[in-house]
Amino acid sequence: MTGGILEIRAGRAVIRGCPTRDRVEGIFVKPNGFQGWEGITDRRREQVARAVEHGDHDVPVYLGARVLTVDVWIIAKTVDMLRTLSQILTGVGADGGRLKVTIDHQGQELHALGRTLVAEAEDQGVRHGRYLRSSGQLQFVFADPRKYGDVKTAPETGTATSALAFQYGNFPAHPVIEIPNAPAAWSVTSPGGTLQVSGAPAGGTHRFDMRTGRLTRNGVDVTDTATVTGAIWAVPVGASWAHTLSAPGRVLTPTTFV
C-alpha cells in the first residue's frame, strides 16, 4: 500500500509516494507498488520427526530474509531528465554491495541493510501532457529482516556503571555495550546474564554488539584476539532492563521492528 506519507532513500535515489503540485518530476511509487516492508511472510524451521511417535519435535521458528519490491513511475519534463532519473534508479546498489535503505512510512523512519536484486527502467517514456513517464522497479533482499529505528543511549550523556535499556519496537533488540577508556577486562550484567571480556587491548573505546557477537576497539575488530565469555541477550519488547557495568560505559539499544 502507498497510503499516507512515503519516502524511500537508497543510494542516490529518492522515491516518493506520489507527485504533488510542488513536485511533479521525480521517481514515485505506483499504486500498490510497495510490497514486503510490513511484517514478514518467510519463516523457517528444522523439521525433526519424532521417532515412532506422532508429530515433530518442537523446534524454534526463525525469520527468513526480507524481500522488498518497489514498482515506480519515473516522471520528467524532458528526455534528458527522464534519462538522468532512470540512470539514478538503475544505479542503486549496482556494484552488488550492501547498502542502507531508509524508508519514511506513515510518519516513522526505519532502515535496513540490503542488496539490490532488481533495478530496472523502461527503455523509453510515454508522453502524458507536458510530462514524459516511464516505468521501473527496484527489489532488495535484506539478509537480516529486522528494521531499525533510533538508538536509545543510556545514560543519555556521559558514562555510568548502571544503565537502563528500554526497547519500544515490536521485536527483541540486541544492545551494544560501549566502554570508553576501556580496561583490558570488563563485564556487564543484565537480566539476560553476564558477559565478560578479557585479554582485549586496553585503552580506546570498546564496543560489543550483542547482535553480531563482535568486539571492536576504536572501530577495529579485536574479537579474535580477546576472550569473550558468558551470555548474549536481547531486550524484550516493552521491557526496561538494568545493566550493571564493571567499568563506566554506555548501553545503546537500537529500536527494532519486523
Mean pLDDT of the chain: 93
Question: Which residues have CB under 8 Å from 11's CB, separation 6+?
Answer: 88, 91, 92, 93, 99
Q: Could you report the per-residue pLDDT of 76-86, keeping only the tens digit for each?
A: 999 999 999 99
Domains of the chain (ranges; CATH) run 6-145 (2.40.30.200), 148-257 (2.60.120.860)
pLDDT digits (tens, 9 = 90+) for 35-44: 999 988 788 8
C-alpha cell at position 33: 507498488
pLDDT tens for each residue of 197-219: 999 999 999 999 999 999 999 99
